[in-house]
Amino acid sequence: MGLQYPMWLGKGGWLRVRELDRQIEAQSRLNAELEARNAALDADVRDLKQGFEAIEERARSEFGMIRQDEVFFQLAVPPTSTVPRNPTPAPAK
């Protein structure tokens, strides 16, 4: 029994190896997420360097900018009420 202690609980034992495998799996998932994020950022940078469409789109969406010869219309949508649109008529008395 005493000979199995290092195999199970020692420095290079089964429990330590299992814990290291879990850490490697978690780090691999994190690396995959970061690689996907980096690829998306790289695509954004390439778009911004190549043409003005991406720059214009970002200026419009993030900063609300418009061109000099454009007219901007902002429509206010009233909040929805709790009154039904087509109420059923009351029964005749």
- Whole-prediction pTM value? 0.49
What residue ranges do the domains of the chain occupy?
A: 13-63
The answer to whether the CB of 14 falls within 8 A of the CB of 7 is: yes
The segments of the chain whose pLDDT lies below 50 read none
Give the pLDDT score at 79.
Answer: 84
Give the pLDDT score at 76.
Answer: 86
The number of angstroms, rounded, from the C-alpha of 34 to the middle of its chain's C-alpha atoms is 12
Rounded-to-10 torsion of CA 77, 78, 82, 86: -70
Model confidence over 77-87: pLDDT tens digits?
888 766 666 66
Give the pLDDT score at 9.
Answer: 66
